[in-house]
Amino acid sequence: MNAPLKHTADATTVEEGLAIQQAQAVLDSESATAVAMRDTLLTPRFYTTDFDELDAVDVTPVRKDWDELLAEMRADPNKGHFRKTADWDHVDWDGMEPELKKEFIDFLISSCTAEFSGCVLYKEMKRRGKNADICELFSYMSRDEARHAGFINDALREAGVAVNLGFLTKAKKYTYFRPKFIYYATYLSEKIGYARYITIFRHLEAHPEHRFHPIFKWFKEWCNDEFRHGEAFALLMKTDPRLTSGVNIWWIKFFLTAVFATMWVRDHQRPAFHRALGVDTTWYGQEVFRKTSEISKQVFPITLDIEHPRWRPNLDRLERASRRIDAARKAGGIGGFLGRMAGSAQAAAAFLGLLTIPAVTHRVPAETRLQPAY
Ligand SMILES: [Fe+2]
Ligand SMILES: [Fe+2]
């Protein structure tokens, strides 16, 4: 007889969290996994890197902050949190407006894929590393992301869909990034993840009538995990001042622009979802950019000028181009091909328009560590 299955919320290691999800995989649906498999500029990707280079990082220059952060992660404040409790209200999936249901499921699948993408990368670093500091950090971060992905999969399963994470690990394409690009991209995605979740959480705290699904009640502790992950990457970048100076400032600007623009375009593709939340997508985007910019001053010497007169028009242009590419892809044929080319050219021009807005420079504080303040 099989022992009763533990829940991913109680898993203390990434291996345990993944084994539990693998045991549930028989229930997982093909269409959700197919959505998670998609690789476009806008969908979450899986990453791989030079693990030996990452493993060689010496955290001595940030030792005091590092030890404090790791102690927090070791204490595991969110163990057991990511599970359905009495607070999990019944979700009327069948009664949900079809457009909202479609967009919300798409949101959950893409969030689950993003969580799992972090999980896979962090787990691989933990598995390959020999550096005790690095291995310990990545074991905690992969543990957290396995729980997050598992919890979203719980929510999806109620709607009759779930992502087959075991299959994704093997079948999804991996994109190679040098460690420094992993730092910029992952630091930003952790911090923007925090800003997104806390903004939604605070909004729904004030307007509970818009909370159309219980998962939003879990966002506060959730975003604290992401905040800590971001802190870890900030400290990793602090170990080498070259990572945030010289030509690398251009890379930072590129990643800031790409991460912000991607979020903007994706969110504007989910109007029914934001309407249901009672959130103006444009306000939400700018608010998340503001919080992320403020936080990223802890380590980046520049922030994007999100109040610049060219900022919003180019984001809107990018969004229109993305719609055009999407429509052309659906149309297919030679017309579709030409439409895709034209859309891509427009998107590239809009992105260049964003990238050429002068950045705001400032001094980076000597003390890096921040606490979640929103
Ligand atoms: Fe996460
Ligand atoms: Fe994270």
How far is the centre of ligand 1, averaged over its atoms, from the C-alpha of 190 (Å)?
A: 8
How far is the centre of ligand 1, averaged over its atoms, from the C-alpha of 18 (Å)?
A: 14
Q: Are 290 and 329 in contact (CB under 8 A)?
A: no
How far is the centre of ligand 2, averaged over its atoms, from the C-alpha of 106 (Å)?
A: 20
Q: Which CATH number fits domain 8-301: 1.20.1630, 2.30.230, 3.30.1460, 1.10.620?
A: 1.10.620
- Among the bound ligands, name the one nearest to the CA of residue 145: 1
- Among the bound ligands, name the one nearest to the CA of residue 140: 2
Cβ neighbours for 26, distance < 8 A, ≥ 6 positions apart: none
How far is the centre of ligand 2, averaged over its atoms, from the C-alpha of 143 (Å)?
A: 10
- Among the bound ligands, name the one nearest to the CA of residue 112: 1
How far is the centre of ligand 2, averaged over its atoms, from the C-alpha of 126 (Å)?
A: 15
Q: What does the alpha-carbon distance between residue 57 and residue 51 come to, in Å, rounded to a whole number?
A: 10
For tokens 């359905």, name the residue.
84
Helix (H) or strand (E) holding 295: helix 281-296
pLDDT tens digit at each of 374 positions of the chain: 445 557 888 888 888 888 877 766 545 567 777 777 777 666 788 999 999 999 999 999 999 999 999 999 999 999 999 999 999 999 999 999 999 999 999 999 999 999 999 999 999 999 999 999 999 999 999 999 999 999 999 999 898 888 888 888 888 889 999 999 999 999 999 999 999 999 999 999 999 999 999 999 999 999 999 999 999 999 999 999 999 999 999 999 999 999 999 999 999 999 999 999 999 999 999 999 999 999 999 999 999 999 999 999 999 999 999 999 999 999 989 999 999 999 999 999 999 999 999 999 999 988 889 999 89
Each as own residue / partner, the long-range contacts of residues 170-173 (CB below 8 Å, 24 or more positions apart, any chain) are 171/37, 172/36, 172/37, 172/39, 172/46, 173/39, 173/45, 173/46
Q: Which residues of 338-351 are buried (b: 16+ CB within 10 A; e: fewer)?
A: ebbeebbebbeebb
Q: What does the alpha-carbon distance between residue 123 and residue 137 come to, in Å, rounded to a whole number?
A: 10
Do β-strands 302-303 and 174-176 pair in parallel, antiparallel, or remain unpaired?
unpaired
- Among the bound ligands, name the one nearest to the CA of residue 149: 1
Distances (CA, A) of 100 to 94, 199, 212, 269, 276: 11, 20, 10, 12, 7
The partner residues of 46 in beta bridges, in order of sequence, read 174
How far is the centre of ligand 1, averaged over its atoms, from the C-alpha of 341 (Å)?
A: 35
Taking Cα atoms as reference points, which of 73, 159, 164, 59 lies closest to residue 112? 164
- Among the bound ligands, name the one nearest to the CA of residue 230: 2
How far is the centre of ligand 1, averaged over its atoms, from the C-alpha of 228 (Å)?
A: 10
Q: What does the alpha-carbon distance between residue 134 and residue 179 come to, in Å, rounded to a whole number?
A: 13
Cβ neighbours for 315, distance < 8 A, ≥ 6 positions apart: 261, 264, 265, 285, 350, 354
How far is the centre of ligand 2, averaged over its atoms, from the C-alpha of 35 (Å)?
A: 21
Q: Are 55 and 128 in contact (CB under 8 A)?
A: yes
How far is the centre of ligand 2, averaged over its atoms, from the C-alpha of 146 (Å)?
A: 10
Q: Where are the domains of the chain?
A: 8-301
Q: What does the alpha-carbon distance between residue 46 and residue 113 come to, in Å, rounded to a whole number?
A: 9
Taking Cα atoms as reference points, which of 212, 58, 222 lies closest to residue 145? 222
> pTM higher than 0.85, yes or no?
yes
- Among the bound ligands, name the one nearest to the CA of residue 147: 1
How far is the centre of ligand 1, averaged over its atoms, from the C-alpha of 146 (Å)?
A: 8
